[in-house]
């Protein structure tokens, strides 16, 4: 049986004359929420949806739209600036099935997702785990995490462009793994600044963030545990045909004279949010928890 191939997701700008993620980075302190929405709507992901798992394609969409926006509006981008800016610079995503075995290779239900800049350097590495029984065992989850960090270290030594590592797993996120990462960062008494910077120690000094995901409910907010086996960018197939998704952006809110970007450069259909099947939530650093204190 042939081994699964690496798949590619291209990150394109729908209209170069309209507001982009790079424009947000260049004007970070002056751009408005409407500017962020406009920039997110100007992202297009092109891939073969038949070959890339929904968990992965939806996650990539989440990163270049919702997560990029969340980091800005929460102010977390100040603590993880290199990571945030690397999202805007990404032009391609390579999806590598994680393999195990020496003599007989076997694909595991997880993927290394490489966000690459124009020079081909990986700036963000994410381990996206599909829901499966073994991941629910604490010792396996921690072991797979350590193996992912080892691959990240090898990649960092090779390219020296890596800015962040993301661990993306089904809800509920492994409590054992969460505590393991917390201990690596300095323990439960870590100061707030260090917690939000969330930087691993040597030999791999990059940001690490944890994300859990579930299947979106009808209200688009809550999520349930995905079966075993978001807003923003339009996802197309290799022929450029867009997927039909419900409209969620309010045109009246988008059409604001104080917007830095020019929304008229995008067609009305381009301003529609196209949520996927899965909902993602950043749990480390936990921004929502900090707001409740």
Q: Are the CB atoms for 132 and 148 separated by under 8 Å?
A: no
Tell me what the mean pLDDT of segment 157-178 comes to.
95
Locate 256 and state its tokens. Answer: 């604001």
Q: Name the one residue in this structure whose structure tokens are 């949520």.
A: 275
Q: What is the pLDDT of residues 272-290, one digit of tens each?
A: 556 678 999 999 998 776 4
Task: Give the tens place of pLDDT for each residue, 243-273.
Answer: 433 333 333 443 444 444 555 556 555 555 5
Q: Is the pLDDT of residue 91 over 90?
A: yes
pLDDT range class, residue 106, cuts 50, 70, 90: confident
Tens-digit pLDDT profile for residues 188-235:
888 888 989 999 987 899 999 999 999 876 444 567 778 765 445 655
What is the model's pLDDT at position 86?
A: 97
Local confidence band at 90 (pLDDT 50, 70, 90 cut-offs): very high
Global pTM value: 0.84
> What is the distance between the alpha carbons of residues 264 and 234, in angstroms, rounded to a whole number?
17
* Domain boundaries along the sequence of the chain: 7-292
What per-residue confidence (pLDDT) applies to 235?
A: 57
**pLDDT over threshold 70, residue 18:** yes
What DSSP line would sit under 27-94, residue for residue? TTTT--HHHHHHHHHTEEEE--TTTS-HHHHHHHHHIIIIIHHHHHHTSGGGTSHHHHHHHHH--EEE
Mean pLDDT computed over 155-168: 94
- CA neighbor of 47 nearest in space, from 215, 281, 243: 243
């Amino acid at each position: 049986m042939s081994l699964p191939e690496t798949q590619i997701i291209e990150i394109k700008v729908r209209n170069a004359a309209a507001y982009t993620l790079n424009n947000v980075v260049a004007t970070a302190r002056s751009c408005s929420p409407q500017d962020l929405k406009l920039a997110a709507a100007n992202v297009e992901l092109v891939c073969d949806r038949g070959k890339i798992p929904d968990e992965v394609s939806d996650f990539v969409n989440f990163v270049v739209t919702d997560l990029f926006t969340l980091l800005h509006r929460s102010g977390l981008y100040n603590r993880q600036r290199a990571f945030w800016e690397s999202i805007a610079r990404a032009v391609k995503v390579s999806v590598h099935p994680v393999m195990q075995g020496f003599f007989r290779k076997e694909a595991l239900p997880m993927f290394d997702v490489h966000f690459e800049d124009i020079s081909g350097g990986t700036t963000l590495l994410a381990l996206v785990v599909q829901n499966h029984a073994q991941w629910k065992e604490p010792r396996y989850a921690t072991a797979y995490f350590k193996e992912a960090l080892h691959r990240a270290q090898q990649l960092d030594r090779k390219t020296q462009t890596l800015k962040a590592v993301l661990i993306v797993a089904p809800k509920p996120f492994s409590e054992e793994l969460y505590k393991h990462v917390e201990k690596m960062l300095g323990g439960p008494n870590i100061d707030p600044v260090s917690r939000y910077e969330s930087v691993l120690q040597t030999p791999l000094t990059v940001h690490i963030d944890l994300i859990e995901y579930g299947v979106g409910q009808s209200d688009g907010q809550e999520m349930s545990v995905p079966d075993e086996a978001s807003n923003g960018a339009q996802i197309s197939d290799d022929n450029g045909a867009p997927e039909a998704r419900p409209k969620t952006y309010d045109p009246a809110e988008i059409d604001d004279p104080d917007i830095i970007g020019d929304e008229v450069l995008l067609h009305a259909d381009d301003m529609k949010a196209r949520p996927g099947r899965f909902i993602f939530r950043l749990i480390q650093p936990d921004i929502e928890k900090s707001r409740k204190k």
